């Protein structure tokens, strides 16, 4: 296919509720959306970078810079076999996986629309229904958190993830477990601890938590392996894993027993599938992480979650948990029993509402062959 047009836009959307993690609060999202065209068919992708360099070094603005100044000029006018060729073309650009992943996702949507098949089938997925969990930000009080959990369970969600940080951990998890003895519960620290805190995690071993997500430094694997040896609860890596090679190394040294795969963090569908395959072969289950995406990123996450080793509920949830109005139609819907059903439409499975997208756009940049 000939890449005849690349259209980038930044959209601004306000989350219905502020989202707090160990590194800060987000409410106003600035999201880069990429559209590619072969002259007749189009595809959409989303850059998952945040507004500030806190989850990752990448931001909305660094992604815009890398895409406009380095990635788009290398891709525009190229004749490629398919999305698998993309990684080789952008290989010389080090890092910036979220910027790379936004355009890569658009190429997969385009390719699956060209072939008139659903993206999840093109990726080789088999799960028509995906189980959904929720990620709940840090709350003003434990009572507030218990109420939020109650509401999410009532909405059908199958797994509750709470964010923890020093000062909001052992006591919180103890109370949540006491209030909800049966639920699937996990904790995400977003790198807020060091190995010197191993005792806190040993204490939390008592609460039957499914996993501790990224407890230690965002680039670490060695200390995570040491922590995993000292605790019974599985460690799950998020921030530390950027590639299938990272996953192979983490598994081989025992740094984790579960991996969270995020499309942007690993640079797109091709690498996400490679991480998935390494984990499957190593007996490590995976789940799909979320980055407070608009419907476009959400649609890609749903397609990715169809791969067989996505055996744990992910952080992929309904449009209405985040947005008063989403950019796609239909919005992402979750059934009363906490499942999302794959679309049978070609491509990412959802139609982009172009007039609405236009109404939330604050800047655009066009590349023509
Ligand atoms: O660590 O999983 C994370 C949101 C922003 C940055 C990092 C993370 C998250 C979430 C939110 O947990 C998941 C979602 O999109 O609902
Ligand atoms: Mg995480």
112-147 confidence digits (pLDDT tens): 999 999 999 999 999 999 999 999 999 999 999 999
pLDDT number for residue 330: 97
Q: Is 262 a catalytic residue?
A: yes
* Statement: the pTM of the whole predicted model exceeds 0.85: yes
In the annotation, is 163 catalytic? yes
pLDDT tens track for 232-243: 999 999 999 999
Q: Which residues, in sequence order, are CB contacts of 97 under 8 Å at separation 6+?
A: 58, 242, 264, 265, 266, 267, 268, 271
Residue 238 in contact with ligand 1 by CB distance below 6 A: yes
Q: Chain-centre distance of CA 140, in angstroms?
A: 25
Quick: pLDDT tens for 151-166.
999 999 999 999 999 9
Q: Which residues have CB less than 5 Å away from ligand 2 (the ion)?
A: 188, 213, 238
Q: Does the beta carbon of 132 sit less than 6 angstroms from any atom of ligand 1?
A: no
- Which among 100, 161, 165, 262 is annotated as catalytic? 262
- As a whole number of angstroms, the distance between CA 160 and CA 277 comes to 26
Pair of tokens at residue 289: 């992480």
With a 6 A CB cut-off, is 55 part of the ligand 1 pocket? Answer: yes
Asked if the model's pLDDT at residue 22 lies above 90, the reply is no
Q: What confidence tier does 90 reach under pLDDT thresholds 50, 70, 90?
A: very high
Band of pLDDT at residue 67, cut at 50, 70 and 90: very high
CA 110 to CA 81: how far, in whole Å?
A: 12
Q: Classify 169 as helix, strand or coil.
A: coil
Q: Mutation test of ligand 1: which of 56, 135, 318, 321 has the most ligand atoms closer than 8 Å to its C-beta?
A: 135
Please tell me if the CB atom of residue 290 comes closer than 6 angstroms to any atom of ligand 1: yes
Give the whole-angstrom CA distance, residue 13 versus residue 30.
7
**Ligand 1 centroid – CA 365 distance (Å):** 28
Kindly give the distance from the C-alpha atom of residue 12 to the centroid of ligand 1, in angstroms, as a whole number: 18
How far away, in angstroms, is 280 Cα from ligand 2 center?
A: 20
Q: Cβ neighbours of residue 329 under 8 Å, at least 6 residues apart? A: 350, 351, 352, 353
Query: Distance from the CA of 260 to the center of ligand 2, in angstroms?
Result: 7
Who's near 244: CB < 8 A, 6+ residues apart? 271, 274, 275, 277, 278
Q: Give the position, in ligand 1's atom list, of the atom nearest the Cα of 26.
A: 5
- Identify the band that residue 68 occupies on the pLDDT scale cut at 50, 70 and 90: very high
The encoded tokens of residue 110 equal 């385009």
Residue nearest to ligand 1 atom 8, measured at CA:
291
Strands (E) across the chain are located at 5-21, 24-37, 42-46, 129-131, 134-136, 160-163, 185-188, 212-213, 235-237, 258-261, 286-288, 328-329, 339-341, 351-352, 361-368
- Give the atom of ligand 1 at the shortest distance from the alpha carbon of 262: 2
What tens digit of pLDDT does each residue of 255-272 get? Answer: 999 999 999 999 999 999
């Amino acid at each position: 296919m000939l890449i005849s047009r690349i259209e980038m836009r930044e959209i601004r959307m306000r989350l219905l509720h502020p989202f707090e993690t160990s590194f800060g609060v987000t409410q106003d999202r600035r999201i880069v959306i990429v559209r590619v065209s072969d002259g007749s068919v189009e595809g959409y992708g989303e850059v998952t970078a945040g507004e500030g360099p806190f989850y990752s070094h990448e931001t909305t603005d660094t992604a815009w810079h890398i895409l406009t100044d380095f990635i788009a000029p290398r891709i525009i006018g190229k004749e490629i076999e398919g999305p698998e060729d993309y990684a080789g073309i952008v290989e010389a650009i080090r890092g910036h996986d979220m910027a790379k992943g936004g355009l890569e996702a658009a190429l997969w949507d385009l390719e699956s629309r060209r072939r008139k098949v659903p993206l999840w089938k093109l990726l080789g997925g088999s799960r028509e229904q995906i189980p959904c969990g929720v990620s709940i930000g840090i709350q003003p009080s434990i009572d507030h958190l218990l109420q939020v959990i109650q509401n999410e369970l009532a909405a059908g969600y199958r797994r509750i993830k709470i964010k923890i940080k020093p000062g909001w951990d052992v006591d919180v998890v103890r109370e949540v477990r006491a209030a909800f003895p049966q639920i699937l519960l996990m904790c995400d620290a977003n790198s807020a601890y060091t190995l010197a805190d191993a005792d806190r995690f040993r204490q939390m071993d008592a609460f039957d938590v499914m996993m501790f997500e990224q407890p230690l430094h965002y680039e670490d694997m060695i200390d995570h392996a040491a922590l995993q040896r000292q605790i019974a609860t599985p460690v799950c890596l998020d921030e530390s894993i950027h590639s299938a090679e990272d996953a192979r190394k983490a598994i081989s040294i025992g740094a984790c027993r579960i991996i969270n795969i995020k499309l942007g963090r690993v640079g797109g569908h091709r690498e996400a599938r490679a991480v998935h395959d390494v984990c499957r072969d190593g007996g490590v289950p995976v789940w799909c992480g979320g980055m407070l995406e608009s419907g476009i990123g959400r649609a890609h996450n749903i397609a990715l979650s169809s791969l067989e080793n996505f055996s744990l509920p992910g952080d992929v949830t309904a449009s209405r948990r985040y947005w008063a109005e989403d950019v796609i139609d239909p919005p992402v819907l979750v059934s009363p029993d906490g499942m999302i059903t794959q679309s049978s439409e070609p491509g990412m499975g959802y139609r982009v509402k172009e007039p609405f997208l236009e109404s939330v756009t604050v800047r655009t940049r066009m590349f023509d062959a």
